[in-house]
């Protein structure tokens, strides 16, 4: 039965993957719905049939369970009821002692034993799993119970007796009555969990779905805030005309040799897209770059490839993406940065190789070359402002500044450089509002990602899914290289290795259920992302670039798939050697 539940979870995964592949459902909706179904199926099965028992050694050592089940939750509720009952009994003893004794001075001695017993009671919940916990956003079952038990703690009441002046009998009686009243109020407010199984099932579902909705939505909060500030920065760069001026400056000084000018454009495009992004920026840069490349005789396919490889290469170092990888995979900057720089190097080799091939075999004759008719921007931009696109990357990777602060410093730098322009404050304000609006789709996607990660990490889902995924996942270096090298094209058409769609769901599953190191999982996804970022016909950037260049997305796919796939295999081999034993 356990295997059938695991297969049902995989079936849900396959159905949503197919629907996203066929573009019948948006990823924004698919991820939270998948997370909800995963959790609902696993919880229902856990309450109905139970999960496999823990290892004997773990139970014998009385350690917290790695994958606590509904039966463990029932035992935790029994522990809670017993703890509440014991404290209520102590409070009742306190009140009766106060009410029975007419001599206030005799009460202190009679309660010393009760105080000693309460202090030596210990923590009843040391071995109880902390259900539904995701600090700091969801405190979990144990914290809520301990808060209730704190209200029933007899120790502060007894210790308050030491402050009573028993020489003044009237005053002492009044103070003792106050203590007894507090004890009675605590007894009245004590609410042990219901003993019925139906109530336990209700609370079990409610606890986990609160964890899913609240904890899951806030899982990637740092990435979400970084994305918003990154959107503000990108729109501000666009509104100030910085990227446009950088491209024209590059074209003017690169000369007329196709390889040199294409290489210069590739480097500048990569640099710009390390900190900005979005279809609007692609259109702005592409409408300048593509005519420039065509004017030196490069074919439309080669020019489009130069632009797309540059966009994908720059996105590798984007601080927003870096923040997501840090949060999602739990890597440190020292672990993540070498991986990203390696990807950038592979992109650079691919880009220059593509340019060398295009300038040699795809070069048009001078009769077919087209001169660009676009005029350069009129407004003068100083050299200091031209450096703005690289500031966030420099601050994050070299100054080790966290991403949100890096974007804020970069925005402030640009404003100081442009503050003397007419309407400078208005441009900044408009850029901040537009920037926040443009990143709402990725923000919603990250909320869905956080919910999916939270769902997959819950013990009920883990207990059913882990055995099946562990049996199918690669266990060694060569299995890793063969699987992810050959499967890299599955990133196309919103497939299961799509870096911004099902790929993150696959990653979350692998991280939660296999011994593969997080860096190896991320490396495989980034390698497949090369094909998705450059060749995927469903990318909005590819659709616009192909249309502007007068070719089809199918042509782009046909010409780029082989070299990009080879580059992805190289990346998988490198990461397999580095990270997989």
Flag whether pLDDT at 568 surpasses 80.
Answer: yes
Helices of type H across 275-402: 279-295, 300-316, 319-329, 333-361, 383-386, 391-397
50: left (phi over 0), alpha (psi -120 to 50) or beta: left
324-344 mean pLDDT? 92
Q: pLDDT of 145-161, one tens digit each?
A: 888 777 777 667 666 66
Q: What percent of the chain has pLDDT over 90?
A: 27
Res. 320 pLDDT band, cuts 50 70 90:
confident
More confident residue, 496 or 269: 269
Flag whether pLDDT at 526 surpasses 90.
Answer: yes
State the Cα–Cα distance between residues 157 and 162, nearest whole angstrom: 10
Flag whether pLDDT at 373 surpasses 50.
Answer: no
| pLDDT score recorded for residue 570 | 96
Flag whether pLDDT at 58 surpasses 50.
Answer: no
537-550 mean pLDDT? 83
Res. 305 pLDDT band, cuts 50 70 90:
very high
Q: pLDDT of 172-183, one tens digit each?
A: 677 777 777 777
47-53 mean pLDDT? 71
Flag whether pLDDT at 481 surpasses 80.
Answer: yes
337-347 mean pLDDT? 95
330: left (phi over 0), alpha (psi -120 to 50) or beta: left
Determine which of 31-35, 74-78, 295-299 has the lowest per-residue pLDDT on average: 295-299
| pLDDT score recorded for residue 531 | 93
355-384 mean pLDDT? 60
The secondary structure of 380-415, three-state, reads: CCCHHHHCHHHHHHHHHHCCCCCHHHHHHHHHHHHH
Determine which of 253-262, 265-274, 480-489 has the lowest per-residue pLDDT on average: 253-262
Q: Do 580 and 500 touch, CB atoms closer than 8 A? A: no
More confident residue, 123 or 247: 247
User: What average pLDDT does the chain have?
Assistant: 81
Q: pLDDT of 415-450, one tens digit each?
A: 999 888 888 999 999 999 998 888 888 888 889 888
73-83 mean pLDDT? 88
Flag whether pLDDT at 54 surpasses 60.
Answer: no
Q: pLDDT of 9-39, one tens digit each?
A: 888 888 887 787 676 887 788 889 989 999 9
| pLDDT score recorded for residue 123 | 63
Q: Do 210 and 353 touch, CB atoms closer than 8 A? A: no
292-311 mean pLDDT? 89
Res. 270 pLDDT band, cuts 50 70 90:
very high
Flag whether pLDDT at 63 surpasses 80.
Answer: no
Q: Do 128 and 76 touch, CB atoms closer than 8 A? A: yes
| pLDDT score recorded for residue 59 | 39
Q: What is the CA radius of gyration of the chain?
A: 31
Determine which of 37-46, 259-268, 282-291 has the lowest per-residue pLDDT on average: 282-291
| pLDDT score recorded for residue 501 | 62
| pLDDT score recorded for residue 86 | 79
| pLDDT score recorded for residue 363 | 47
Res. 408 pLDDT band, cuts 50 70 90:
very high
Backbone angles phi and psi of 538, in degrees to 5: -90, -5
Flag whether pLDDT at 300 surpasses 70.
Answer: yes
Q: Do 118 and 154 touch, CB atoms closer than 8 A? A: yes
Q: pLDDT of 80-109, one tens digit each?
A: 888 888 778 777 777 777 777 656 556 655
């Amino acid at each position: 039965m356990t295997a059938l539940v695991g297969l049902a979870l995989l079936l849900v995964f396959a159905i949503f993957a197919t629907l996203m592949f066929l573009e019948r459902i948006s990823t924004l909706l698919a991820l939270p719905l998948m997370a909800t179904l995963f959790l609902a199926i696993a919880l229902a099965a856990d309450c109905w049939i139970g999960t496999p028992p823990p290892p004997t050694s773990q139970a014998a050592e009385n350690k917290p369970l790695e994958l606590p089940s509904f039966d463990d939750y029932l035992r935790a509720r029994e522990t809670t009821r017993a703890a509440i009952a014991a404290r209520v009994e102590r409070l009742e003893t306190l009140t009766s002692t106060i009410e029975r004794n007419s001599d206030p001075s005799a009460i202190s001695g009679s309660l010393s034993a009760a105080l000693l017993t309460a202090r030596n009671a210990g923590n009843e919940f040391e071995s109880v799993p902390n259900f539904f916990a995701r600090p700091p956003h969801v405190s979990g079952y144990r914290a809520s119970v301990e808060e209730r038990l704190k209200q029933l703690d007899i120790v502060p009441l007894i210790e308050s007796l030491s402050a009573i002046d028993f020489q003044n009998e009237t005053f002492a009686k009044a103070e003792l009555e106050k203590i007894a009243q507090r004890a009675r109020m605590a007894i009245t407010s004590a609410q042990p969990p219901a003993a019925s199984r139906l109530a336990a099932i209700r609370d079990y579902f409610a606890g986990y779905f609160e964890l899913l909705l609240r904890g899951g939505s806030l899982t990637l909060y740092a990435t979400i805030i970084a994305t918003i500030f990154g959107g503000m920065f990108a729109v501000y760069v666009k509104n100030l005309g910085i990227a446009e001026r950088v491209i024209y400056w590059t074209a003017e000084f690169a000369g007329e040799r196709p390889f040199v000018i294409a290489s210069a454009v590739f480097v500048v495009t990569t640099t710009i897209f390390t900190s900005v992004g979005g279809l609007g920026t692609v259109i702005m840069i592409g409408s300048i770059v593509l005519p420039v490349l065509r004017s030196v005789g490069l074919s439309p396919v080669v020019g489009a490839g130069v632009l797309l490889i540059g966009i994908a290469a720059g996105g590798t170092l984007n601080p927003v993406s870096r923040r997501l990888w840090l949060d999602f995979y739990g890597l440190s900057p020292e672990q993540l940065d070498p991986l990203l720089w390696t990807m950038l190097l592979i992109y650079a080799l691919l880009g220059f190789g593509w340019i060398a091939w295009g300038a040699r075999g795809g070069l048009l004759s001078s009769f077919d070359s087209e001169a660009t008719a676009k005029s350069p921007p009129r407004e003068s931009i100083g050299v200091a402002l031209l450096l703005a696109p690289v500031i966030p990357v420099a601050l994050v990777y070299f100054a080790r500044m966290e991403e949100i602060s890096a974007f804020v410093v970069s925005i402030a730098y640009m404003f100081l450089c442009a503050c003397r322009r007419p309407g400078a404050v208005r441009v900044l304000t408009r850029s901040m509002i537009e920037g926040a609006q443009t990143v709402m789709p990725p923000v919603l996607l990250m909320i869905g990602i956080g919910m999916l990660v939270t769902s997959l990490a819950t013990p009920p889902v883990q207990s059913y899914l882990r055995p099946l995924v562990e049996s199918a996942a690669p266990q060694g270096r060569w299995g890793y290289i063969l699987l992810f090298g050959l499967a890299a094209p599955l990133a196309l058409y919103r497939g299961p290795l799509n870096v911004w769609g099902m790929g993150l769901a696959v990653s979350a599953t692998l991280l939660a259920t296999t011994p593969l190191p997080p860096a190896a999982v991320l490396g495989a996804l980034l390698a497949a992302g090369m094909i998705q970022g450059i060749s995927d016909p469903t990318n909005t950037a590819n659709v616009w670039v192909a249309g502007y260049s007068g070719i089809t997305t199918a042509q782009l796919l046909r010409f780029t798939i082989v070299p990009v796939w080879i580059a992805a295999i190289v990346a998988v081999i490198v990461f397999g050697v580095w990270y997989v034993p």
